[in-house]
Structure 1
Amino acid sequence: MSATAPPLRPRRPAPRDAAGSPLLLGHGRLPRVLAGTALVVLAVLWLLPFVWAIATSVQSEQDLSKPGLSPVKGAFTLEAYREILERGNVPVWAFNSFLIAALVTVITVAVSTLAAYGFSRGTFRGRRALLAVTVAAIMVPPQLLVVPLFRQMLLFDLVDTYAAVILPQVVAPMMVFILKRFFDGVPRELEEAARSDGASEFRVFRSVVLPLSRPIVAAVSIFVFIGAWNNFMWPFIVTNDPDLMTLPVGLATVKDAYGIQYAQAMASALLAALPLIVVFLVFQRRIVDSVATTGLGGS
């Protein structure tokens, strides 16, 4: 009596992620443990400088001068924060930073979206040459434009004004290029349907293209706001009035006469970063979704 061959079992398909592509780490507990361990290690390495800055800012300068590599060398104190708040006009500087960053974001997004839509859908003469100039402007270091921009502000008598801080920052060739590439992928059939219903070109842009571009517009707005908030060089050059200084510039002017004070330096850095941390915590989901949807987090 011949033995019958066992029935063939179907092969189990490889595990796939939510997007449908095979998981590179394989399946099982070990790959998940290794991936989780790697993420924890990277998170600790990323948070270590931040924790070190906090530990430094809540100690006295005398304790920090003690030898040793430990970040905690003395008792807890808020003396550095008290010195900065007493010797600087932090509320005014924070208001200036928020106002300037918000206006720069609104104007930059408005100008960049219109320019990108013109490059994506326009057929005007010289379009390719102008687009090439815009792309080439991305490679120009901002430091090269400091002297010409400052001479322009002097010519128009705008030094020590909000306009002098805001206007040079609203030109963002990189954002124009990013938005243009996104608009190229928007289906033209939707725009043609709107035009056939009698919509003007601006109505098509406002009612059809922009609603479909919310992820990329949100991502660009976040990047522009963070860049304007952290901008130090240009506000430092174009403002002398303490009431017009931004938070990074104002905190840099609060220095001790006895040289570098490490606790105050770390406290200043944390005060400047605190509003951005709050913004990230409040809009964390929107920020992550925008970057993940548009692919701006890296290739």
Structure 2
Amino acid sequence: MATTTLSRPKLRFKGSVADIPARQKRTPLSRILATVIVSVLAVAWLIPFAWATLTALKSETEAASTPISWIPASGFTLDAFTKVLGSGNIPTWTLNSLFTSAAITAITLVISASVAYAISRIDFRGKDLLMGVIIASIIVPPPVLIIPLFQQMQSLNLIDTYWAVILPQVIHSPMVFVLKKFFDQIPRELEEAALMDGAGRLRIFTTIVLPLSRPILAAVAIFVFIGAWNNFLWPFIATNESSLLTLPVGLQTIKSAYGIQYAQNMASALLAALPLILVFLFFQRQIIKGVATTGLAGT
């Protein structure tokens, strides 16, 4: 039997320079302009952080004095950090924030990934309605749910426990939507081959889908962790005992009887933001890769 082979056609460029994609004909001037714009935006973002850092390193007199100056006349000092660290139980609050944020992140990943995979791959009655409810819930302001959530936690006798902080924060509709869009781009042929080999849905989900989704799962985990760490309102309502407070809530309890202490406030803000800065520095590659992958999947 004669066989025919298909040869790959040779591509020859016969067009003009105008036919070259814009990405391939960027001039050095455009790259320089883009670099300048990005640098200006980066400096604009860093100015508030630099101001907060310098204010935290001033004495209270220098921080409240006018005219405002970047460099204090009496030099920098660590008094604000010393007073903040000595006024509260910072290590316990930090551990509470780490525990609750890690638990919220882990539970959210399990719930969001499972729901997203079911909507993406399994046909069941009410699927479109469920997806519509998930999308509609994204626009619901979280403060609207505070009263019913508090009543629910109170009826379960969970107020002043870690579970009161964790459970109401494990449902993230935007993350379900993002993961569902990513799962839609995974080739169905991989799952069909696994089904023919006798694999079940759970095995396919854990051994095929999840390993292929590591970038987006890492990005979702980091965003959920940051949101849980920064959450102030709900932990403030759900906990009263000092030993259960998270770091953002605990730092707000450190108040002076002499009015607003600008240096101490800035020191508290920096202490609360320091773990998030470290998380971003260590996992920035995963964040960028996950966001880029999600963007490509949605195009």
* Residue in 1 that maps onto 2:30: 31
> In structure 2, what residue type is equivalent to 1:53?
A
Name the SS for the 2:22 alignment partner.
Answer: coil
- In structure 1, distance between residues paired with 2:179 and 2:243: 35
Provide the C-alpha distance between the structure 2 equivalents of 1:199 and 1:43, rounded to a whole number of angstroms: 49
Give runs of aligned pairs for residues 153-172 of structure 1, distance below 5 A.
Answer: 153-172=153-172
TM-score (normalizing by structure 1): 0.90
Amino acid of the structure 2 residue aligned with 1:36: T
Give the conservation status (yes or no) of the 8 Å contact 2:235–2:245.
yes
Contact 1:93 1:250 in 2 (8 A): yes
CA distance in 1 between partners of 2:241 and 2:139 (Å): 32
Stretches of structure 1 that go unaligned for 5 or more consecutive residues are 1-9
Most deviating of 128-137 and 77-86: 128-137
8 Å Cα contact 1:61/1:263 also seen in 2: yes
1:284 Cα offset (Å): 2.2
Distance 1:15 1:261, change over 3 A: farther
Shift of 1:14: 7.3
Deviation at 1:12, TM superposition (A): 8.1
1:93, 1:25 → 2: CA distance?
54
Q: 1:126 to 1:31 in 2, by over 3 A?
A: closer
- What letter is aligned with 2:137? A
Give the letter aligned to residue 260 of structure 1: I
Q: Distance in 2 between matches of 1:129 and 1:249?
A: 38
SS at match of 1:283: helix
Partner of 2:70: 71
Task: Specify the code of the residue in structure 2 equivalent to 1:87.
Answer: S
Q: How many residues align?
A: 284
On the 8 A contact 2:64/2:262 being kept in 1, the answer is no
Tell me by how many angstroms 1:185 deviates: 1.5
- The offset of 1:40, in angstroms, is 1.7
Aligned to 2:126: 126
Measure how far apart 1:15 and its partner are. Answer: 11
Tell me the C-alpha RMSD between the 2 structures. Answer: 2.1
Shift of 1:66: 2.0
Instruction: Give yes or no for contact 1:56–1:72 (8 Å, CA) kept in 2.
Output: no
In the TM superposition, 1:159-238 aligns within 5 A as 159-238=159-238
Give the structure 2 partner of residue 99 of structure 1. Answer: 99
Deviation at 1:81, TM superposition (A): 0.4
**d(CA) in 1 for partners of 2:57, 2:227:** 28
Contact 1:104 1:170 in 2 (8 A): yes
* Mapped partners of 1:156, 1:252: distance in 2: 28
SS at match of 1:295: helix
Write out the 4+ residue segments of structure 1 that deviate beyond 6 Å after TM superposition: none
Normalised to the residue count of structure 2, the TM-score between the two structures is 0.90
